[in-house]
Amino acid sequence: MTESFRRSGEYPEDTSRQQSPYSGSVPPSEDRAGAWPPPPAYDPAQPVSVAPGTTVWPASGGSGAGGHGGDPTARFAAPGAEPPAPGTPAPHAGPERRKKRLRGPVGLLAAVAVAAAAVGGGTAYAFQQLTGSDTTASSSTSTAVVPSSKRGTVSGVAQAVSPSIVEVNATLSNGSSTGSGVILSGDGEIVTNNHVISGASSIKVRTSDGKTYTADVVGTDAKKDLALIKLQNASGLKAATLGDSDGVSVGDEVVAIGSPEGLTGTVTSGIVSALDRDVTVSTDESQQQQQQQGGGDGRWPFEFGGREFNGDTGSSTTTYKALQTDASLNPGNSGGALIDMNGNIIGINSAMYSAASDSSSSSSSAGSVGLGFAIPVNTLKADLDTLRAGGSDS
């Protein structure tokens, strides 16, 4: 603590300074010059002296002590002012201010609630606009398409994504071809495998609700085995959400949806068995038509690991990196979706091995043996603009 010491007689004693500042007498200015501490620059307000028995009420026209904009010294009415009428309560700002203070937090909470509602509604509206029926739904990260109560379940994925998967039937000059497709926009953009529709004279597409549409080819890319078709007079379809295949790991659970053997909306499940598998397929349209001749067996030939599966790929081929899965894939699954457990499309199913294609295999071993491949969805996203412009084969 800092203390102030004063020698006796250092400052002159002035008994008049010890009196109340409200004594009513003001010392001469020359007496103030040596005062310590220095007096204020203005004279303090003087109290009101009234006769005994006289009622004094707060002055009108000011806000009172602590009020905003009022004179802090105007605490009482000037002498001689008329008192209020009998029974009239004296004005007082305190309760009103207290009422406002009590109202303040409630108002603040209400404002926060309104702001939160506005932000939430705006976000929902923006999401609806971004994922409108005529817009391809695409996600750079994993988006929860499946409701939270069913997230991580095969049934939840099937329920959420099945409306976005279609059956594709192509009529060829010498036969027919059946595969699957994924809806990219509400007005009928569908992605499928090129080998499903290659050489087709007409294409029919059946949606999950049983409706049938005629489709036109928009663009093809034989080197990536991708094709984009467009339904005629379609609207209000549910577009799938394209995920991020770069975020997929070996062992991730997946679901496959397609139309094997014409069984629309068939759901199977498994895991991602491997990444970046080199899969080789034919780019020769005549080879594709020969495979489908007379209805074909639906087994698209491909090469993997130096071996040919499902027949001869021919001399004109292309190789792409694929996701390998043990989810059951059968003829007709080509062009369908490989989906993560949040409901995002991570691949387009393109090739599967069926033991029935080997002459040494018996009929009892026909069907899926857990060796299927899908084109990574990021390959599709990178090629989508080219497909919409007619494709690299145009």
How far apart (Å, rounded) are the C-alpha atoms in residues 323 and 142? 17
Among residues 268, 184, 226, 244, the alpha carbon closest in space to that of 375 is found at 226
How far apart (Å, rounded) are the C-alpha atoms in residues 280 and 313? 8
Catalytic hit among 185, 334, 354, 368: 334
CB 337 within 8 A of CB 299: no
CB 219 within 8 A of CB 228: yes
- What is the 3 state secondary structure string of 290-337? HHHECCCCCCCCEEECCEEECCCCCCCEEEEEEEEECCCCCCCCCCCE
Q: Which helix (H) or strand (E) holds 257?
A: strand 253-258
**CA distance to 35, 63, 116, 192, 346, per residue, from 244 (Å):** 83, 66, 31, 18, 6
Reported in sequence order, the residue ranges of 39-174 that DSSP labels E, i.e. its strands, are 137-138, 165-172
Catalytic hit among 177, 198, 208, 225: 225
How far apart (Å, rounded) are the C-alpha atoms in residues 115 and 235? 35
Query: Is 195 a residue of the active site?
Result: yes
How far apart (Å, rounded) are the C-alpha atoms in residues 185 and 178? 22
Catalytic hit among 138, 162, 185, 195: 195
Q: Which residues are identified as catalytic?
A: 195, 225, 334
